[in-house]
Amino acid sequence: MYVIHGGNTIEGKVRVQGAKNTVLPILAAALLLSEPVTLKGCPRISDVYTMLALIEQLGGAWSWRGEILTVDGTGIKNWEVDGLLAQECRASILFMGALLGREKKVRIHRPGGCAIGKRPINIHVEGMKQLGAKVREEEDFIHVSGERMQSGTFHMKFPSVGATQNLILSCVKLPGITKLYNGAREPEVVYLCDFLRKCGAKIQGERTDCIVIQGVKRLKGVSYEIPGDRIVGGTYLTMAAASGGSAQIEHVQLWEIESLLFLLERMGCSIYRNQKSVILYRNPKNRLKSVEQLYTQPFPGFPTDMQSQWMVAAAVARGKSKVCEKIFENRFQIVAPLKQMGANIHVEQDTAIIEGVENLSGCEVWGKDLRGACALMVAGAVAKGTTLVHGQKYIDRGHEDIVRDFKLLGVKVQQTK
């Protein structure tokens, strides 16, 4: 449980940790390399440890030396992914593509992760079938045989981030040229392609309509630096916007967070963009302005992973805001706890309508998913009085040390048992 004494303005500077959603596919990609890989700036979060445990269970090895994580997948012989571990982390599904690319077969449990929607994997499976893989789906497990897989073309009916990454992993060593149309353009896809290219892969066209992959026989090990986490950075910027004051957020790439920066500017914040950092300032005497209508969308649209945190800012803005959640069906779980804190929100189907109030007030609340729990931490920092936030196991999935970061930004917070 976290105890937050809120209602103060934000003042401080944070260098954000390495990006969770970038490192997880890169850890899966390590299975495809003929040599170990070293990663700098990998965040020490529970999703990373789950992926490392899965690598170990498959026969690989890993070790940290200071800030450097070495992952060695060269000894892997196993192609059956442990069911219990797979249920701990959504990104475990990426071992499907990686093991297909490596062993030509895989047996894997359906993935777990935060309960923010149905999260099917039909697009992953359709893509693999289209390229000739044989797929047998049981209730919990999926068996895929890639012996007859051939390069080809696949058109994704929705630009799913995970399916795009999984298909890239399964094709990067497949002979011939594979074309993936309508793939996701999220930064986490761009970095996976960048990483694989450094290892020797031939991939072009990420961030366009068509990703073209020419299969290579061998991928070498490299050293790679994990970029800063755009959602962690965005969460802290949103907290500064909602509380007022000033925050300097370092180790973020501007192109990844532009949709958020644009929105916060429209709400009345001053934003100073530097090469790899952002300073946000809002005079605490002037309330934020509301936003008529916001939609969550695939990149470069506004990210669903920022929707809950943004709702806290909208909850204390002057006037009525609306946010329409277009990616996940179950992403308004924080509405109830925010209402407990005094927010005026009601939900109509996929839209939350938020009438801004002057203040939130602290109370005891429960987070039920990673970003929702972080949003409640932000709400605690904004609210008058003391807020108790439960849900550490969710926050640990994506934050190395949220208490350290909040303190650096001037928030009075502590963790208790």
Tell me which residues are annotated as active site: 114
43 lines the binding site for ligand UD1 (CB under 6 A): no
188 lines the binding site for ligand UD1 (CB under 6 A): yes
369 lines the binding site for ligand UD1 (CB under 6 A): no
Both structure tokens of 180: 């993936």
Instruction: State how beta strands 385-390 and 364-366 pair.
Output: parallel
117 lines the binding site for ligand UD1 (CB under 6 A): yes
Half-sphere exposure of 253 (CA within 13 A, CB side): 15
- Residue 379 and residue 360 in contact, taking contact as beta carbons nearer than 8 Å: yes
Task: Using the minimum distance from each CB to ligand UD1, give the nearer residue, 10 or 71.
Answer: 71
Task: Using the minimum distance from each CB to ligand UD1, give the nearer residue, 75 or 120.
Answer: 120
Using CB under 6 A, pick the residue from 102, 107, 110, 124 that binds ligand UD1: 124
301 lines the binding site for ligand UD1 (CB under 6 A): no
Region from 68-76, 182-190, 218-226, 237-245 binding ligand UD1, contact rule CB under 6 A: 182-190
Task: Using the minimum distance from each CB to ligand UD1, give the nearer residue, 234 or 303.
Answer: 303
Query: 33 by DSSP, 3-state: which?
Result: coil
387 lines the binding site for ligand UD1 (CB under 6 A): no
Compose the 324-363 pattern: x for residues touching ligand UD1 by CB under 6 A, - for all others.
---xx-----------------------------------
Q: How far apart are CA 44 and CA 115, in angstroms?
A: 22
Task: Using the minimum distance from each CB to ligand UD1, give the nearer residue, 170 or 248.
Answer: 170
Phi, psi of 51 (to 5 degrees): -65, -40
118 lines the binding site for ligand UD1 (CB under 6 A): yes
90 lines the binding site for ligand UD1 (CB under 6 A): yes
Task: Using the minimum distance from each CB to ligand UD1, give the nearer residue, 12 or 398.
Answer: 398
127 lines the binding site for ligand UD1 (CB under 6 A): no
Q: How far apart are CA 371 and CA 340, in angstroms?
A: 18
- Estimate to the nearest angstrom the gap between the alpha carbon of 262 and the chain centroid: 20
Closest Cα partner for 7 from 414, 416, 410?
410
Task: Using the minimum distance from each CB to ligand UD1, give the nearer residue, 328 or 366.
Answer: 328
Q: To which H or E segment does residue 125 belong?
A: helix 122-130
395 lines the binding site for ligand UD1 (CB under 6 A): no
128 lines the binding site for ligand UD1 (CB under 6 A): no
158 lines the binding site for ligand UD1 (CB under 6 A): yes
DSSP code of residue 288: P
Shortest spacing between CB 211 and ligand UD1, in angstroms: 15
Q: To which H or E segment does residue 224 belong?
A: strand 223-225
Using CB under 6 A, pick the residue from 92, 246, 290, 304 that binds ligand UD1: 304
Compute, in degrees rounded to 10, the torsion defined by CA atoms 350, 355, 358, 359.
Answer: -30
Instruction: State how beta strands 2-6 and 141-145 pair.
Output: unpaired
Report the b/e string of 243-276 with b at 16+ CB within 10 A: bbbbbbbebbbeebbebbbebbeebebebeeeee
How many CB atoms within 10 Å of residue 42? Answer: 28
Instruction: State how beta strands 344-348 and 351-355 pair.
Output: antiparallel
Task: Using the minimum distance from each CB to ligand UD1, give the nearer residue, 129 or 320.
Answer: 129
119 lines the binding site for ligand UD1 (CB under 6 A): yes
DSSP code of residue 115: -
163 lines the binding site for ligand UD1 (CB under 6 A): yes
Strand order in the sheet with 277-282: 10-15, 245-250, 277-282, 270-273
162 lines the binding site for ligand UD1 (CB under 6 A): yes
Residues that bind ligand UD1 (CB under 6 A): 21, 24, 90-91, 117-124, 158, 160-163, 184, 186, 188, 303-305, 327-328
